[in-house]
Amino acid sequence: MKKILIVLNVMFATAVVNAQTLGDLWNQNKGTIVNTATQAAQAVINGTNSNTPSLTNEEIIKGLREALTVGTNSSTASASKADGYLKNTRLFIPWPEEAKDMKERLTKLGMKKQIADFETSLNRAAEEAAKKAAPVFIDAITKMSISDGMAILNGNDTAATNFLRKTSYAPLYDQFLPVVKEAIAKVNVTKYWNPLVTKYNKLPGVKKQNPNLDDYVTKKAANGLFVLIADEEAKIRKDPMARVTDILKKVFGFKK
């Protein structure tokens, strides 16, 4: 029993000495310890510590524009191929909705093939226009004003594409329209349209039809490209292998 008490006394004395030593160390170095902890915490908050990569808003904006540019190049290459619009149900340009009564009447008159030929010509025009669309879209991307890149980066899978559509559609349309007009002339859309509208307008009691085909194809062709660019953006966000440049790897890798 006496031995046990001796051992306990030794242990207690050692603990007291250790506690006093730790206390002395704390009192001597507490300023340095507090400063170090504060700096480490601030580094984490600011993303400046060695283990946390940092991004400036300028880098984020550059990465977003790069993603849209990569998406545009891939999308225009895909859409400009034969049947890029015609055989893609998401991009296919149908008979103008405003002239649907005309389509119904002409179908009853046995002009189904001529109608199909006309719809094919609309899609061929879009495919032709897509060959020259990339510079037009990339110019809009370059001029796109972004103030809060982080908000778009942390948005949904197509946030950058949606932002481009919202902020740049009008000037993009103006630049794309001449490209589409040239394509419409090249594939002879009016050759398929004129016999149809002439036949229809001769029918008694009908409202004469003459949709603005330049406007119609321009809008449909542009919307189709936006669909594909959105697909490419989503791919870049989700698939590291789709990040083909250093800035894409840095920006979209950081988000993860």
pLDDT in tens, the chain (256 residues): 544 444 444 444 444 444 455 455 445 555 555 454 444 444 444 444 444 458 899 999 999 999 999 999 999 999 999 999 999 999 999 999 999 999 999 999 999 999 999 999 999 999 999 999 999 999 999 999 999 999 999 999 999 999 999 999 999 999 999 999 999 999 999 999 999 999 999 999 999 888 899 999 999 999 999 999 999 999 999 999 999 999 999 999 986 5
Please give the single-letter amino acid code of residue 70. Answer: V
Tokens of 20: 């006093």
Gap between the Cα atoms of 222 and 220, Å rounded? 5
The dihedral formed by the CA atoms of 10, 15, 18 and 23, expressed in degrees to the nearest 10: -140
Q: Is the pTM of this model over 0.85?
A: no
Tell me if residue 150 falls in helix, strand or coil: helix
Contacts of 134 (CB under 8 A, 6+ apart): 72, 73, 76
